[in-house]
Amino acid sequence: MAVGLLLACGVMTAALAMGLRQSFGLFLAPMTTAKQWGAADFSFAIALQVLVNGLTQPLWGQLADRIGGRRVVMLGAALQCVGVLGMALTDSRLVFTLFAGLAVGAAVSAAGMPVIMASLTRLLPETLRGRATGLGTAGSSFGQFLVVPLAHLAIASFGWQAALVMVALTSLAMIPLALPLNDRPAPVVAGAPAEETARAALGRAFRTPSFWFLFFGFWVCGLHVSFMAVHLPGFVASCHLPAAVGAGAISLIGLFNVVGSLSAGEISGRWSRRGLLVGIYALRGVVMAVFLFVEKTTASVLIFSAAMGVLWLSTVPPTVALCARNFGTRWLATIFGLVFLGHQLGGFTGAWLGGLIFDRTGSYDLMWSLCIAAAAFAALVHLPVRDGAAKAVLARA
């Protein structure tokens, strides 16, 4: 299959997956107002979605490693359609939480970036892997830039409920786009050297300090991303700025992360991946610290969004590259899925804690301070990561 077609379909699938998922924060204000729920009610459901996403990611990764990413992504797209329809049609907080948290959480895990990135990494030669993960991540960011304003327009034009139904139906477009992701491992040839089992690969990863450094570093990434994706529109509203500024901020993050992700993908193939991650997290802390203390205007929010956009998902290409170089590609979806679990545990914390702090204090200031401290921790925890590969691992990659 032509590399161009494979990359195009992978990028478009990632774009839809991320764009639809990142639009959920826009529904917080209209849904909680219409249903008279608290911000914590909505944010807990989305936080549970992030947590379930992380918990099921290694399971979907294991399945993708065995049967290929195509079938897993297709199943996730169908499940996402069902889950979002449930979010739109229920009036019960419990049922909403089950659909938004459990069903959609499992769906975005199956049809999400780790499975897509692992498929592209396996299907392409090593010389193209950094570029492919950069393109895939940039595509997901472009999806955020494109889909979030359309979701805002749909909410404004047709109401939040009809807009959610549109999000559900659009999820089905990922099914045909996933067709080229046919990375099912070839059958073992008689007499060939025995390949490493999933259990052995996981045991090796768990015994490696670098795995845990990446895990806890990605926890911080999830904390930042979910907090801002869910609460940045609400933060903008709390600053008495128009709702369109909140939607524009999320969209602008996606647009500028196209630049950040493409750059990170290229740098990951040529420079220290460890040093790149240290720099990204340190810069995040600086950008958030400056934003915390400046006057909140439309201009300052959009400038912050552009700066944060460059750093948004630019952590993904170097993290995937470090997983592949340290642990090989045979069980990459499984191992990166476990690292991604750290991201989603952080995401659960960011989405839920942001709503809880706002409900208790009436402000997001404490949450911003926690995010700044976490950025410093992430920069430090990546310093000891091994930025290389053992010969045995390279042989299997």
Q: For residue 138, what pLDDT band results from cuts at 50, 70 and 90?
A: confident
- 188-234 residue pLDDT tens: 434 444 567 778 888 888 999 999 999 999 999 999 998 998 889 88
Most confident of the following: 3-12, 20-29, 224-233: 224-233
Averaged over 111-140, what is the pLDDT?
74
Averaged over 268-284, what is the pLDDT?
88
CA 101 to chain centroid: 16
Nearest to 155 by CA among 305, 22, 23: 23
- 397 is written with which tokens? 């990659």
Spatial distance between the Cα atoms of 347 and 261, rounded to a whole number of angstroms: 20
Q: Which position has the higher pLDDT, 325 or 292?
A: 292
Q: What pLDDT shows up at residue 126?
A: 65
Most confident of the following: 34-38, 51-55, 353-357: 353-357
Q: Which residue has the tokens 């040093």?
A: 275
Q: What pLDDT shows up at residue 397?
A: 42
**CA distances (Å), 74 to each of 9, 145, 318, in order?**
13, 23, 27
Lowest mean pLDDT among 90-99, 128-137, 205-214: 128-137
Q: Is the confidence at residue 396, as pLDDT, over 60? A: no
Q: Which position has the higher pLDDT, 153 or 9?
A: 153
**CA distances (Å), 178 to each of 12, 70, 343, in order?**
9, 5, 24
Q: What pLDDT shows up at residue 278?
A: 95
**CA distances (Å), 380 to each of 102, 277, 278, 283, in order?**
34, 10, 7, 13
Q: For residue 184, what pLDDT band results from cuts at 50, 70 and 90?
A: low
Average confidence score pLDDT of the chain: 84
Per the CB < 8 A criterion, the answer to whether 326 and 208 are in contact is yes
Spatial distance between the Cα atoms of 57 and 336, rounded to a whole number of angstroms: 9
Lowest mean pLDDT among 163-177, 201-215, 260-274, 381-395: 381-395
Nearest to 324 by CA among 389, 392, 273: 389
Spatial distance between the Cα atoms of 185 and 198, rounded to a whole number of angstroms: 13
Nearest to 250 by CA among 178, 151, 181: 151
**Candidate CATH numbers 3.40.50.1820, 3.40.50.300, 1.10.357.10, 1.20.1250.20; the one for domain 3-182+201-396:** 1.20.1250.20
Q: DSSP secondary structure string, 271-320?
A: S-HHHHHHHHHHHHHHHHHHHHHS---HHHHHHHHHHHHHHSSTTHHHHH
Spatial distance between the Cα atoms of 28 and 42, rounded to a whole number of angstroms: 6
Domain residue spans of the chain: 3-182+201-396
Per the CB < 8 A criterion, the answer to whether 274 and 150 are in contact is no
Write down the H helix ranges in the chain.
3-22, 28-35, 39-67, 69-89, 93-97, 104-110, 113-123, 126-158, 160-171, 174-177, 198-206, 209-238, 243-268, 273-293, 298-311, 316-327, 332-361, 365-381, 391-396
- 275 is written with which tokens? 């040093």
**pLDDT above 70 covers what percent of the chain?**
92
Helix (H, G, I), strand (E, B) or coil at 155: helix
Q: Which position has the higher pLDDT, 235 or 186?
A: 235
Q: Is the confidence at residue 395, as pLDDT, over 70? A: no
Per the CB < 8 A criterion, the answer to whether 281 and 375 are in contact is yes
Spatial distance between the Cα atoms of 331 and 262, rounded to a whole number of angstroms: 25
Lowest mean pLDDT among 155-159, 187-191, 358-362, 383-387: 187-191
